[in-house]
Amino acid sequence: MYAGFGALRFLARNAEGIDVPPPGDGAARATDTPPDLIVILAERQDELPMVQEAHPGGVLESFYSAADRRLLFWVYSGFER
């Protein structure tokens, strides 16, 4: 998944997003303001502690597939900005 993914752009038309490369694949694009929320895909769960350390005090919500109940992603929000 990436910020410009077609279905995501359709569902969240006015949302701005950036793609974060995996560790070692280059630096994420810096932004002037902190994000409102961060989406962490299940396959990148090892990066979750780094996100929480960089943005303390947030709330983590899990989202599961309706078809098979597997974890799809987390949304981390409400952190210090």
DSSP letter string, 34-57: --SEEEEEGGGGGGHHHHHHHSTT
User: Between residues 38 and 6, which one has the greater pLDDT?
Assistant: 38
Span 34-61, pLDDT tens digits: 788 888 889 999 989 988 988 899 999 9
Give pTM, 2 decimals: 0.75
Instruction: Give residue 17's pLDDT band: very low, low, confident or very high (50, 70, 90).
Output: confident
Instruction: Give residue 27's pLDDT band: very low, low, confident or very high (50, 70, 90).
Output: low
Residue 44 and residue 23 in contact, taking contact as beta carbons nearer than 8 Å: no
Residue 20 and residue 34 in contact, taking contact as beta carbons nearer than 8 Å: no
